[in-house]
Amino acid sequence: MWGGEGARLEVVTVFCEDLAAATTFYAEVFEAPLVFSNDDSAVFRMGGVLVNLLDARNAPELVAPGRVAAPGLGDRVQLTIPVEDVDATCAELVARGVTLNNGPMDRWWGMRTATFRDPAGLLWEVAADLG
């Protein structure tokens, strides 16, 4: 099947209420290369993963018979990007207009982390090993 070590994550789709703001955020904050865009979505490459920013009005057909959750009802996912220096990365994020949700802080499990949100409300973490 597809599980185990051979499994790989290829695409993450993020439902966005403001596609233009999310597109600008990913281009300017992450400096991710745009690989596709139209009126309904923008796809960025982040390492080996494509991040598909999708206008939330188009999301119901993807999740039916489930429902698309409204933003602000609580966090369900956190995506982590490893960095060399959390403090320097946070300084750069703040300089780009990003508001930190928390951190930088040392965690009991041996990582230094900080989190922030993208315009769609998705929670992102930057992390470095304290070792």
Domain boundaries defined on the chain: 1-66, 75-131
Q: Same fold for the domain at 1-66 and the one at 75-131?
A: yes
Predicted confidence band of residue 8 (pLDDT cuts 50, 70, 90): confident
| Domain 75-131 indexed as CATH 2.60.40.10 | no
What is residue 57's predicted lDDT score, i.e. its pLDDT? 93
Indicate the helix (H) or strand (E) that contains 10. none
What is residue 131's predicted lDDT score, i.e. its pLDDT? 85
CATH topology for 1-66? 2,3-Dihydroxybiphenyl 1,2-Dioxygenase; domain 1 (3.10.180)
What is residue 1's predicted lDDT score, i.e. its pLDDT? 42
What Rg, from alpha-carbon coordinates, does the chain have?
A: 16
* pLDDT, tens only, 70-115: 887 887 788 999 999 999 999 999 999 999 999 999 999 999 999 9
CA-CA-CA-CA dihedral for 88, 11, 26, 75, to nearest 10: -70
* pLDDT, tens only, 10-56: 999 999 999 999 999 999 999 999 999 999 999 999 999 999 999 99
How remote is the C-alpha of 61 from its chain's centroid?
Answer: 22
What is residue 74's predicted lDDT score, i.e. its pLDDT? 80
Residue 6's CB is within 10 A of a number of other CB atoms, namely: 7
Cα(131)–Cα(28) distance, rounded to whole angstroms? 31
Contact between 4 and 110 (Cβ < 8 Å): no
**Strand pairing class (34-37; 100-106):** unpaired
Cα(69)–Cα(66) distance, rounded to whole angstroms? 9
Cα(51)–Cα(61) distance, rounded to whole angstroms? 18
Cα(121)–Cα(17) distance, rounded to whole angstroms? 9
Residue 13's CB is within 10 A of a number of other CB atoms, namely: 15
